[in-house]
Amino acid sequence: MNTDTLSTSAPISRKKSFNFGSFTIIAIALSLFIFLSFASDTFLSTRNIYSILYGVSFQFFAIIGFTYLMIMGEIDLSVGSVYAFSGMFMGYLMVMMKVPLLPAMGISLLVCVLMGMLTGFLVVRFRLNSMMVTIATLTLIRGLSSYFVKAMYGATYPPAMRHLSKIEIGDVYITIIAMVVLVIVLEILLKKSAMFKRMYFVGENRQTARIYGIKSDRIKIAMFAISALAAAVGGILISSRVSYADTAIGLGLEFQLLTAAVLGGASLYGGKGSILGSCIGLIFLATILNGMVIFNIEPLLQQLIIGVILIISVFIDTRLNKNN
Amino acid sequence: MLSNPVQSKTKVKLAPAFGDDDFIEIREISKAYGAVKALKGVSFGIKKGEVHTLLGENGAGKSTLVKIIMGEESPDSGEIIIGGKTIKIFSPEHAQMMGISMVHQELSIFDNLTVAENIFPTRYFTNTIGTINWSSLNRRAEESIAIFDINIKPKQKMESLTLAQQQMVEILRCISNNQQIILLDEPTSGLNNDETCKLMQIIRDLRDKGITIIYISHRINEVLEISDRITILRDGRYVCTYLNDKNLTEDDLVSAMVGRELSESLYSKKSFFDASANPVFYKVEGLAKKNALNPIGFELHEGEIIGFFGLEGSGLITVSQMLYGLEGKDTGEITFKNEKLSKITPPELLKKKILYLNNNRKKAGLLLGSGAADNMMMPKMDELSTLSFLNNSSIADYTEKYIHLFSIVIPNIFEKPRNLSGGNQQKLMFSMCIGTNPELMIVNEPTRGIDVGAKSEIHKFILEAAKQGTGFIIFSSDLPELMGLCDRIYVMKNKSIVGELAGDQIDEESVFALAAGSGRC
Amino acid sequence: MDKKLFFQNTSQKLSAIFKRNEAVSVTLAVLLFLMLIITTPYALDPANIDAVQTAIAPYGIMSIGMMVLLISGVFDLSVGSAMCLGGLVAAISLTLGADPILAIIAGIVSGMLIGVINGLLVEVAKVNALIATIGTMYIARGISEIVLVGRGQAGYTNFPENFNNLGRGQFLNVYYMFWIMVVLVIIFQLILTYTKFGRKLFFIGGNYNASRQLGIDVKRIRIIAFMISGTLAAFAGVLVTARAGIANRYTGVGANMEIIIACIIGGGTLMGGQGSIIGAIAGMFFMALMSNAFNLFTIPPQWQSIMVGIILLIVITVDGYVSLSKQKKLGKL
């Protein structure tokens, strides 16, 4: 008797099982928070938490597009350099070319979006490895950034630009509010928007998505553009905060973002990840750093610890995801 | 034991399953994949230095048996005895070490390297000091190639060879590395007549040297040409072994392969619906691609179901993928409902309500790691969302509707397909397509690798949907299935359509006769 | 008749050479070199030649290891950190009174250890190479920084003369380290072309699964490849430290990217299965000569990154386009 063909007229369960990915990082971050709150008096102060969130909010913009691309199975190593470039270019336009704030911002963002589209086009049209292509674009854009650094001779950005990162609503910096709002909105979109759902489908199995009419090429190019745009926004904000062209901006950012995204549930093999998870990943990393500062642990140990965390979390990720 | 299908029309010599001089003994091998029993207690023997062919339709169990011999799968029960010793083969590497190698249909070549390196991947022709002697390697490769007399050079890069040439290199690899037992799985599917004849000669030479060759092929002509003995498998069981002497004919083999007792018939043949008077629903003209497909054309009338039958290498899968834009074509015009289709791409075809069911649901067609509801919504995302926001309750309703309609056994609409049985996976994939109310469905192997119960259910759904007005073009290598579903069947062979049978003309032997065989040497 | 045949043969041989993997990078390097000597007298100035040699040699040695890995289908982002750590370990050993030879060996062994860890992570734990080597990069860098910063301003210095000589000495007006690089290049190119190990790298990079099925010891080979990379990186660090006379915490920062870029220009790809040491060195020569050219012509260094980025993009795109059209022509697409 083949039970496979038993007709079931009973109502089917609609309960969604727990999304493991984000849950783990939230749990770990929460534990860390709790631990630090008990272990130190200074940790749980509003001022301290606030400064952690403020610091994270800049990188958060860059991780948005980065996460989307990881979901689609690609990796964009150029985010760090776009992050650096956008602010410096805008600053250059304002300082050296006397372009007003909004047009300067617009031009800079536009240029970054175009660079993203170019990257996306090359990856899709010539079926290139996104890691290789973005290593090339990273070098190129980093070079452009250095050009602007030199061109500005260390000049400080105009007040209008420097103010951007300091804008507040109520007593809260707008960047933090934007981050919270974006996390909520994007997370909802990720679960409920058709377009974002398609990204997951493409990331999991491009051929299948293709059979059912999903235009994976177009979506990929769009995501490269969005990644560049989001990193550019974050870059303008961080430049605004730093207030002059500093070559250290964005250095190694791509690796930090990779660590945070993977901690947050994204997989290098595509099909997994969420904005919420990536954001919590960033907060987690920042909290570790913060905790070490509070306990006067050698800040240099930070790199070490992050390295170990990264390996362990990816090891677990690989165990769970290497079904392919 | 199935009753012996051979009522001797001629004096055909049946060989006993086992003999005293057997080199390889297959004893009571059984293997099941979930509910699907691929092999049921298969037992027979293979002699040393003979060409022993495994013959049988798709689903007969040939590939499973071969996987077990090669160490890619392990049997649920039974044993393999080689040279008198019971052997457990753990892995393909292990099989290699024991002198067993196989030329698969999906090639395992190194296209970044040269032909010579691909022929001898594990032999390095080292000098006395241990370094690689390239001239030696190339010379030996040249010798192997010369036997075959093909137009390739040892120093050529594999990536510059055509698929057929690459296949030949892989055959050369097996042959040139002193393997004692060589399995060839449809080796001629990519070869032309001349190349096939050469291969036959090589196989004879190898056999004369004492190498045991297990040959798997659908091509009856070739099988008769090259085999010493032929073992027939059907529905996972051993049927019989024939001695290939002058008296053995194609008919004998074909009836052994497909013959069923009437009481065991799985499908009743469809009563013919003559739609030739109805308007043409879908028409293809001049579809062709260099090296992949000779020009073909066909029509589908309103109200009928047509099928395509062909064996390995016939071009069947190519056609289905070209119709849907998954593979490019050089030439060809497709007309749907009297309108020429200008762009053949999945999004465009979906807009016209033409859908495609893929032949390998694990590779493409289902997202195994995403929930059933996610899968169901894929082709229908625009309708199931308002202003680009997914309407989760509609999606849930929709999914549930089809779970009930197709009796898919699944505990939860978010359950992942990888946890379902093959039959339920296939039913899910089917509902994904049917749920969009398609005008036309291009179906590639509707019931591959699923159990009998699910098979018949899907057949019922197809017939039902056709009654409701959906057109079907079914590509399948399961002939009884096609006979139960289709009004007309096109038969393909060697990348062309070689016949069209309708209604009463359709019977297993006629179709098979058209599809099988290749040119004589 | 003979002349025609001769021309045919030579043109066949020439086109075969040009189709070779390294053609692009060697051509670029040679052209750049010629351009340099023609356009400026300073190119051949002894001080300049010194600078170029000592710039090329360490990274050149490291690119050997990277290319070995790339051919087998993986890569190593920890090379810069291994370089720093190698120099540091040697410096510490010297400060503890060890013999220079022992110190050098200690430095090299530290690199070998990093390589083993990378190899085990990637092949046994099945961690993605990108992540694994980022992890070891952070860890090695972290260790180096902790030790060096802990030491304060003094750092590790005052090495014995014969140790410093390793980095500063010359033979026939060419630095020892440069000779070492040349010898290593020759050795490893020979290994790639004429040994089983070398060939296996290509098989593994070309088709990992098929290699495994054929019984090739993929895990062992890859682990050895990682060890080679780590060892060479550490050795390069030792050389650099010997020359500088002090263990510097910034050693090797950014090296990984430069070396990968040099290897890609030199014909390697991240997908594995192709490449050569000659190509890698030519790529490194090209990068170093370009840097030198920029210096000599006092072009701001940022243009160099821009140029390299553009060249890299072109190389990758053209390579992709060519392989795509090859596949289309053979009807595989």
User: Residue A30 to residues A21, A40, A42: CA-CA distances in angstroms?
Assistant: 15, 15, 17
CATH number at residue C102: 1.10.3470
pLDDT of B308: 95
Domain total for chain C? 1
Q: Round to whole Å and give the CA distance between A75 and B426.
A: 33
Q: Choose among C195, C207, C330: nearest Cβ to B110.
A: C207
In a domain, C150, yes or no: yes
Other CB atoms within 10 A of residue B1 CB: 7
Residue B264 in this model has a pLDDT that exceeds 50? no
Q: Choose among C128, C149, C264: nearest Cβ to A314.
A: C128
Question: Closest Cα partner for A218 from B345, B239, B148, C18?
Answer: B345
In a domain, B329, yes or no: yes
Question: Closest Cα partner for B357 from B229, B264, B447?
Answer: B447
Name the DSSP letter for residue B16.
P
In a domain, C11, yes or no: no
Residue C89 in this model has a pLDDT that exceeds 50? yes
Angle CA B2–B8–B10, to nearest 5: 145
Question: Closest Cα partner for A159 from A224, A95, A218?
Answer: A95
Q: Which of B101-110, B288-297, C40-49 has the highest mean pLDDT?
A: B288-297
Alpha-carbon distance B150 to nearest alpha carbon in chain A (angstroms): 33
Cβ partners under 8 Å of residue B277, min gap 6: B301
| Neighbouring C-alpha atoms within 13 Å toward the C-beta of A148 | 30
DSSP-assigned beta bridge partners for residue B102: B183
Question: Closest Cα partner for B67 from B87, B47, B48, B89?
Answer: B89
Q: Are A15 and B418 inside 8 Å of each other by CB?
A: no
Q: Where are the alpha helices (DSSP H) in A97-173?
A: 101-125, 130-151, 159-164
pLDDT of A10: 63
Token pair 């024991």 in the structure block, residue: B98
User: Residue A160 to residues A99, A111, A169, A174, C169: CA-CA distances in angstroms?
Assistant: 12, 21, 17, 15, 56
Residue C14 in this model has a pLDDT that exceeds 80? no
Backbone angles phi, psi at B489, to 5 degrees: -125, 130
pLDDT of B6: 46
Domain total for chain B? 3
pLDDT tens-digit readout, B440-498: 999 998 988 777 778 888 999 999 999 898 999 999 988 888 888 999 999 998 889 99
In a domain, C41, yes or no: yes
Q: Where are the alpha helices (DSSP H) in B436-507?
A: 452-467, 479-485
Other CB atoms within 10 A of residue B388 CB: 13
More confident residue, B171 or C19: B171
Cβ partners under 8 Å of residue A132, min gap 6: C264, C269, C270, C316
In a domain, B5, yes or no: yes
Cα end-to-end distance, chain A, whole Å? 33
Residue C328 in this model has a pLDDT that exceeds 80? no
Q: Where are the alpha helices (DSSP H) in B227-356?
A: 250-258, 316-324, 346-351
Other CB atoms within 10 A of residue B279 CB: 10
pLDDT of B520: 54
Q: Write out the two tokens for A90.
A: 């805008």
| Cβ atoms of A143 and C313 closer than 8 Å | no
Question: Closest Cα partner for A245 from A69, A65, A92?
Answer: A92
C chain contacts of residue A145, beta-carbon cutoff 8 Å: 302
pLDDT of A22: 63
Q: Are B385 and A194 inside 8 Å of each other by CB?
A: yes
Domain borders along chain A are 45-316
Q: Round to whole Å and give the CA distance between B481 and B472.
A: 14
In a domain, B521, yes or no: no
CATH number at residue B43: 3.40.50.300
pLDDT tens-digit readout, C26-74: 988 999 998 888 888 888 888 888 889 999 999 999 999 999 999 999 9
Q: Are B412 and A8 inside 8 Å of each other by CB?
A: no
Q: Which residue of B has its CA nearest to C275?
A: B112
What fold characterizes domain A45-316? ABC transporter involved in vitamin B12 uptake, BtuC (1.10.3470)
Q: Are A139 and C271 inside 8 Å of each other by CB?
A: no
In a domain, B385, yes or no: no
C chain contacts of residue B170, beta-carbon cutoff 8 Å: none
Q: Round to whole Å and give the CA distance between C201 and C274.
A: 9
In a domain, C8, yes or no: no
Confidence of residue B260 (pLDDT cuts 50, 70, 90): low
Regions in chain A scoring below 70 on pLDDT: 1-11, 17-22, 299-300, 317, 320-324
Other CB atoms within 10 A of residue B328 CB: 13
Cβ partners under 8 Å of residue B139, min gap 6: none
Name the DSSP letter for residue C123.
I
Instruction: Verify that B340 and B293 share a domain, yes or no.
Output: yes
More confident residue, A1 or C274: C274
Instruction: Verify that B17 and B163 share a domain, yes or no.
Output: no
Q: Write out the two tokens for B367.
A: 């997202």
Handedness of CA B252, B254, B257, B258 (dihedral sign): negative
Instruction: Verify that B63 and B24 share a domain, yes or no.
Output: yes
Q: Write out the two tokens for B127.
A: 């000098």
Structural domain boundaries, residue B74: 1-99+179-265
In a domain, C327, yes or no: no
C chain contacts of residue A88, beta-carbon cutoff 8 Å: none
pLDDT of B374: 92
Question: Closest Cα partner for C271 from C124, C69, C118?
Answer: C69
**For range C159-167, the mean pLDDT:** 83
Instruction: Verify that B87 and B211 share a domain, yes or no.
Output: yes
pLDDT of A6: 39
Instruction: Verify that B183 and B238 share a domain, yes or no.
Output: yes
| Own/partner pairs, A127-131, CB within 8 angstroms, 24+ separation | A127/C320, A127/C324, A128/C316, A128/C317, A128/C320, A129/C269, A129/C270, A129/C271, A130/A69, A130/A74, A130/A75, A130/A76, A131/A75, A131/A77, A131/C130, A131/C270
**ipTM for the whole complex:** 0.86
- CB-based burial of residue A81 (10 Å sphere; 0-12 exposed, 13-18 middle, 19+ buried)? buried
Instruction: Say what the pTM is.
Output: 0.84
Residue B273 in this model has a pLDDT that exceeds 70? yes
Chain A residues bordering chain C (beta-carbon distance below 8 Å): 75, 122, 126-129, 131-133, 135-147, 149-150, 255, 258-259, 262, 268, 298, 300-308, 310-311, 314-315, 318, 322
Q: Round to whole Å and give the CA distance between C191 and C206.
A: 18
Q: Are C135 and A314 inside 8 Å of each other by CB?
A: yes
Structural domain boundaries, residue C293: 22-317
Report which residue type is found at B247: N
Q: Round to whole Å and give the CA distance between B471 and B438.
A: 8
DSSP string for C137-172: HHHHHHHHHHHHHHHGGG-S----HHHHHHHH-EET
Instruction: Verify that B191 and B159 share a domain, yes or no.
Output: no
Q: Write out the two tokens for B208.
A: 């004369």
Instruction: Verify that B171 and B189 share a domain, yes or no.
Output: no
Instruction: Verify that B30 and B141 share a domain, yes or no.
Output: no
Q: Round to whole Å and give the CA distance between B56 and B218.
A: 7
In a domain, C329, yes or no: no
C chain contacts of residue A122, beta-carbon cutoff 8 Å: 313, 316-317, 320
Share of chain C above pLDDT 90, in %: 49
| Cβ atoms of B366 and A212 closer than 8 Å | no
Given B177, B194, B214, the domain boundary residue is: B177
| Cβ atoms of C164 and C241 closer than 8 Å | no
Instruction: Verify that B86 and B15 share a domain, yes or no.
Output: yes
Confidence of residue B521 (pLDDT cuts 50, 70, 90): low
Instruction: Verify that B207 and B308 share a domain, yes or no.
Output: no
Alpha-carbon distance A16 to nearest alpha carbon in chain B (angstroms): 6
Instruction: Verify that B315 and B197 share a domain, yes or no.
Output: no
**For range B169-195, the mean pLDDT:** 82
**For range B368-395, the mean pLDDT:** 88
In a domain, C250, yes or no: yes
Chain B residues bordering chain C (beta-carbon distance below 8 Å): 91-93, 96-97, 108-113, 117, 121-122, 124, 126, 130-132, 159-163, 289-292, 328
Q: Round to whole Å and give the CA distance between A242 and A250.
A: 12
Cβ partners under 8 Å of residue A195, min gap 6: A219, B388
pLDDT of B8: 43
Beta strands in B110-252 (DSSP E): 181-185, 212-216, 229-234, 237-243
Instruction: Verify that B31 and B94 share a domain, yes or no.
Output: yes
